[in-house]
Amino acid sequence: YQAKRDRTGVEVYESKRDSNTPDRLGLLGDLRRALDAHEVELHYQPKVRFDGQVAGLEALVRWVHPERGKVPPDEFIAIAESSGLMPHLTEYVLETALGQVARWRAQGLFVPVAVNVSPRDVHTPGFAGSVAARLARHGVPAGALQLEITEHVLLEDPTRAADTLNALTGHGVKMSLDDFGTGYSSLVHLRKLPVSELKIDRSFVARLAVDAEDAEIVRCTVDLAHSLGLLVVAEGVEDDETWEHLRDLGCDAVQGWLVASAMPADETTAWLLARGSRGWQRPAAALPAAA
């Protein structure tokens, strides 16, 4: 494999894209062991509303391989997905996230958490029931869990996928449509999926302030989502200008490095406690207007 160093000096693993190289198989075995050894961690990234209130947290997996360093989630999730390990990874993520939600609730922090699920999970028989059972076991109300899905869930057996998603919303779990705009025939899918939130993909948000076409796409998406009664979250918000633009377009919440990057659980606790009921304040907004 090739390795490069990221900004923090930690090695970042980069593999070639072929699917069954010995390297990939090695990594799969290592991932399986890492899950059993609880070496895979969850970090949490806040979603905040424009008044600063924390709308929720997104759980994002983090794996630091003992020899290879940080393996990007996109990389090992693709491996888990193509190898059959995905249901195991998702169980691990749900179990860890719900345990954390229960601990936060015991501390008086009633913040909903979103977990990413893959199409493979949605097609696993009994998935909805197992999520409901896990919620009950942790004593967490279904409304405190959100599942982020993508349009890809409808690619294979859309009827079965819709049944599973309807069963989940029937239990009270909220569904969010992630990476919106990057899939196929989005409008048809949107109508079929029982989602209450739509997340605009970072690729449209990143250049919003400088690219008129991206701004137009975001504007139309916000209007469309609102006309369907959905909340809109923009992902990948990195600067003030983008924040202001999204607020002016009527977007409901943002997620991105401007607010916070994904943090380990203890840092997230400190972040939530430090903000308290005031919520998150934009550093620039807290300063007197500069010339």
Scanning 33-41, 44-52, 115-123, 275-283 for contacts with Mg ion by CB under 5 A, the matching segment is 115-123
Nearest to 34 by CA among 120, 97, 92: 92
Q: Is 221 one of the binding residues for Mg ion (CB under 5 A)? A: no
Among 148, 151, 197, 252, binds Mg ion (CB under 5 A): 148
Scanning 73-81, 97-105, 148-156, 243-251 for contacts with Mg ion by CB under 5 A, the matching segment is 148-156
Q: What share of residues in the chain are helix, strand, coil (percent, to 5)? A: 45, 20, 30
Give the residue with the Cβ less far from Mg ion, 121 or 179: 179
- What is the closest distance, in whole angstroms, from the C-beta atom of residue 115 to Mg ion in the complex? 9
Q: Specify burial of residue 157 (Cβ count, 10 A radius: 0-12, 13-18, 19+).
A: middle
Q: Beta-carbon neighbour count of residue 86 at 10 Å?
A: 20
- What is the closest distance, in whole angstroms, from the C-beta atom of residue 75 to ligand C2E in the complex? 9
Nearest to 75 by CA among 5, 118, 16: 16
- What is the closest distance, in whole angstroms, from the C-beta atom of residue 132 to ligand C2E in the complex? 19
Give the residue with the Cβ less far from Mg ion, 117 or 128: 117
Residue 65 touches which member of ligand C2E, Mg ion, none, C-beta under 5-8 Å by kind: none
Nearest to 6 by CA among 47, 62, 53, 57: 62
The footprint of ligand C2E (CB under 6 A) covers 45, 60-61, 72-74, 77, 93, 116-118, 148, 178-179, 202, 235-238, 255-257, 262
Residue whose Cβ sits closest to ligand C2E: 256
Residue 107, both tokens: 């501390």
Q: Beta-carbon neighbour count of residue 231 at 10 Å?
A: 19
Amino acid at 70: K
- What is the closest distance, in whole angstroms, from the C-beta atom of residue 18 to Mg ion in the complex? 23
SS (H, E, C) 231-277: EEEECCCCCHHHHHHHHHCCCCEECCCCCCCCEEHHHHHHHHHHHHH
What angle, 0 to 180 degrees and rounded to 10, lies between the N-to-C axes of helices 86-106 and 73-83?
130
- What is the closest distance, in whole angstroms, from the C-beta atom of residue 15 to Mg ion in the complex? 19
Residue 61 touches which member of Mg ion, ligand C2E, none, C-beta under 5-8 Å by kind: ligand C2E
**With contacts defined by CB under 5 A, how many residues of the chain interact with Mg ion?**
5
Residue 118, both tokens: 């893959």
Scanning 2-10, 18-26, 68-76, 116-124 for contacts with Mg ion by CB under 5 A, the matching segment is 116-124
Give the residue with the Cβ less far from ligand C2E, 107 or 264: 264
Find out whether 134 and 178 touch, Cβ atoms under 8 Å: no
Residue 257 touches which member of Mg ion, ligand C2E, none, C-beta under 5-8 Å by kind: ligand C2E
Residue 134 touches which member of Mg ion, ligand C2E, none, C-beta under 5-8 Å by kind: none
